[in-house]
Structure 1
Amino acid sequence: MRAMSDPLTAEPVLPPAPGAEDYLAIDFVNSAIALPGGHFIDLLGTPATTNQWLTERGLAPADAGVQEMCATQLRSLREHLRALFAARVAGLPPLPAALSAVNDALTKAPTAALLQWDDTNGPYRAAPCPTNEILDRALATLAANAADLLTAPDADRLTSCGSTPCNRYLLRHGRRHWCSTRCGDRARAARAYARRSHTTTN
């Protein structure tokens, strides 16, 4: 999986958070990135960047021609998933609207792979995906992956990055609560600064 890039500069922002390699849903909720200094990057901010994000993850062809309405639906699902992740991490009941949105997305695409027949290679199974169903299939795939994560043992390791202002989620390994080395360094520097300030004022 590639490091996230700023859509305007193509500069790498942060590497994928721990767990994003295994769960596309983590990569998806982390496609909106809060950075120091009040900066914010949305990898689904425009139809073009949304199409690129989907294409890089095998969820849409490069020429899918994603429209703003599609990007808006994906951003909406992302916010609902973020709400469910936050509820799971905090041990709180989920927002009914978020749960409903995910279940609605799960029903958008058929799950049964139909029997197909290729003149050269013979029979095989594949789910049909007409162009007008690309968005529905992407929404269903992302929602299903999030549901898999939230109901798996890995959900116990789901946490938010412990470095302000980062808003990314990750699967915790040991005591590590940071999504990247950069965030870990920033958190350690902030703690050291706070200790020095406390010592100076006493």
Structure 2
Amino acid sequence: MRYVKEILTAESAPPPAPGAEQYPALDFANSAIALPGGQFADFLGTPEAANQWLNDRGLAPADAGLQEMCTAQLRTLREQIRALLAARLNGCAPPATALAAVNEALTKAPAAALLHWDPARGLHRAASHPTTQIVEHALATLAADAATLLTASDATRLTACGSPPCNRYLLRHGRRHWCSTRCGDRARAARAYARRTQPKTT
């Protein structure tokens, strides 16, 4: 498998999966994407990429200066949240380590942005902490959102994309089981190819 750490371009990146805009934790769980051809893209693959991902979602300033240790914490929490989503889909008990990781992140830092005053901006809310606390704030926010998703009525709509090799999760709308039009087209093409190549029985 070829591992691609760089952020995908706007043209090549798939759109957010259904539900990801409503639940940042779903977007977070989908930030490592299995691609056709054995490639694997990770939006948190480098400190710079992770900083950009967090900044795009209002979870860190552009100049947060994330280091690899903080980035590794993000990737670890992502895998634990994915384990919880998989357990929910499979109807089995969640791994104790995943529960512990999410609960630890929940209690590590307050999820609320603090109120600040700046003569140029006036009153505003922001997390103005050292880098490690910025990451702890982001971890707490994403963990809280994951807990909300997993316990809300929307959890019944949670599903995995039905177009291999895609590994993204989504909230199902109607009968749709694909995270994007691209994955739907690929699944339909695969089914059509299978029908064409299936041996005819006499």
| TM-score of the pair, normalised by structure 1 | 0.88
1:22 aligns with 2:22: yes
Give 2:148's aligned residue.
148
Question: 1:47 corresponds to which letter in structure 2?
Answer: P
Given that 1:111 and 1:127 are in contact with CA atoms closer than 8 Å, whether structure 2 keeps it comes out as no
Structure 1 residues 10 and 119, CA gap change in structure 2 (3 angstroms): closer
CA distance 1:81–1:117, change in 2 (3 Å): closer
Q: 1:17 to 1:60 in 2, by over 3 A?
A: same
Q: Is the 8 A contact 1:113 1:125 kept in 2?
A: no
**Do the aligned partners of residues 21 and 134 (structure 1) sit closer, same or farther apart at CA in structure 2, a change above 3 Å counting?**
same
Which residue in 2 is equivalent to 1:182?
182
Structure 2 unaligned spans of 5+:
1-5
Deviations 1:163-190 (A, max 9, x none): 0000000000000000000100111111
- Find out whether 1:170 has 2:142 as its counterpart: no
Q: Does 1:37 align with 2:37?
A: yes
Distance between the aligned counterparts of 1:113 and 1:91, measured in 2? 35
Inter-CA distance 31–131: structure 2 relative to 1 (3 Å threshold)? same
Task: Give the AA of the match of 1:137.
Answer: H
- Report SS of the residue matched to 1:107: helix
Query: In structure 1, how many angstroms separate the alpha carbons of the residues matched to 2:191 and 2:201?
Result: 15
Would you say the 8 A contact 1:83–1:94 is kept in 2?
Answer: yes
> Could you tell me the percent identity over the aligned residues?
68
Alignment of 1:9-158 (within 5 A): 11-111=11-111, 118=117, 129-132=128-131, 133-158=133-158
Q: Which amino acid aligns with 1:66?
A: L
- Structure 1 alignment gaps of length 5 or more: 1-5
Per the TM alignment, residue 7 of structure 1 is displaced from its structure 2 partner at its CA by 1.8
Aligned residue identity for 1:153 = S
8 A contact 1:33–1:40 mirrored in 2: yes
Question: Match of 2:130, as an amino acid?
Answer: T
Specify whether residues 111 and 22 from structure 1 end up closer, same or farther in structure 2 by C-alpha distance, changes over 3 A only. Answer: closer
Aligned counterparts of 1:86 and 1:62: Cα–Cα separation in 2: 32
> 1:166/1:74 Cα in 2 relative to 1: closer, same or farther (>3 Å)?
same
Aligned-pair distance for 1:12?
2.9
Distance apart, 1:191 and its partner CA:
1.2
Q: 1:119 to 1:106 in 2, by over 3 A?
A: closer
Alignment CA distance shift 1:156-1:125 (3 Å) = same
Amino acid at match of 2:153: P
| Distance change >3 Å, CA 54–CA 201, structure 1 → 2 | farther
- Give the aligned CA root-mean-square deviation in angstroms: 2.4
Using structure 2 for the length normalisation, give the TM-score.
0.88
- Code of the residue aligned with 2:61 in structure 1: it is P
> Cα 1:8–1:23, aligned 2, differ >3 Å: closer, same or farther?
closer
| Deviation of the 1:126 alpha carbon | 5.2
Tell me if the contact between 2:47 and 2:71 (Cα under 8 Å) persists in the aligned partners: yes
Q: Indicate the residue corresponding to 1:3 in structure 2.
A: none
Aligned partners of 1:113 and 1:58: how far apart in 2? 10
Say how many residue pairs are matched.
195
